[in-house]
Amino acid sequence: MPFKQIHLNKKQDLIQLIRNTSTLIEQGVEILGGPIGTEEFPLIDLVMKDRNRRPLLILADVGPDENALLNAESQSDWFVKNLSMLRQLFPILDLNKTVSPRAALIYPEFPMLMKRSLRAAPLLSPLFYQYRCFEVLDQRFLYLERFQTNPEKQGSSGEYIEGLHPFRKGLAGKEVEITAEEREAFLS
């Protein structure tokens, strides 16, 4: 059964795939809610709790957005400034002014401007994932490739972290690991 890469047209479809496979982002995360945030910027799509009870803000879309990093930083600032309200909404989170929330940006690609400005976002500790969506036998699968923001740790590909096994079955949540060679053949 060959996989066929598909383009997601609706942001809601991507958010649902992320909800179904949240451990693609990080082991031990738990979805708490969303969308939330100030309406001055695109809303935070999902709020997650990482294994340390720290907030992880998810911003995603089906097309590239040169303002995604700025939107994430702005929503993170809003999040910190509204801790008293957020403590009531998410009592399970460890919310204090000394620990900034982390963010994960999930997009099909990242514009060059964003790639060049990644080093300027140390407080947000952003995670960047380039996604592809595949379909086989009417089931959708999400493939996430983590974009490396630290050039000293870049793998041979120059952009992506080597050694990650991000291909996981989207709907059933079963993990399927592939090698770098299989990944290259699969995506070519």
More confident site: 48 or 4: 48
Q: Looking at the whole model, is its pTM more than 0.75?
A: no
Range of the domain at 12: 4-187
Tell me which of 29-43, 79-93, 119-133, 142-156 is least confident: 142-156
User: Rounded mean pLDDT of 31-57?
Assistant: 92
**Spatial separation of the C-alpha atoms in residues 62 and 174, rounded to whole Å:** 24
Q: What is the reported pLDDT for 148? A: 66
What pLDDT does residue 24 have?
A: 87
Q: Is 34 left (phi over 0), alpha (psi -120 to 50) or beta?
A: left
pLDDT at 138: 85
Dihedral sign for Cα atoms in the order 149, 67, 169, 31: positive
Give the angle 112-115-116 at the CA atoms, nearest 5°: 90
Question: In the chain, what are the helix, strand and coil shares in percent, each to the nearest 5?
Answer: 30, 25, 45
pLDDT value of position 49 = 95
Contacts of 162 (CB under 8 A, 6+ apart): 155, 156, 180
pLDDT at 183 over 90: no
pLDDT computed for residue 48 by the predictor: 96
Better pLDDT: 23 or 188: 23
- Whether 7 has a pLDDT exceeding 90, the answer reads yes
User: Prior bond to 111 cis, omega within 30?
Assistant: no
CATH number of residue 85's parent domain? 3.40.1350
Summarize the confidence of residues 23-41 as an average pLDDT: 90
pLDDT higher than threshold 90 for residue 108? yes
For the cut 50, the answer to whether the pLDDT of residue 63 exceeds it is yes
Contact 162/153 with Cβ under 8 angstroms? no
How is residue 79 written in tokens? 């999040």
- pLDDT tens digits for range 120-170: 655 566 778 888 888 888 888 888 888 765 545 444 333 444 444 444 433
Q: What is the mean pLDDT of the chain?
A: 79
Residue 79: phi and psi, rounded to 5, are -60, -50
* Terminal CA-CA length for the chain: 17
The domain tally of the chain equals: 1
Task: Evaluate if residue 46 carries a pLDDT over 90.
Answer: yes
Beta bridge partners of 58: 46, 104
Hey, which of 41-55, 67-81, 94-108, 133-147 has the most confident mean pLDDT?
41-55
Predicted confidence at residue 155, as pLDDT, reads 43
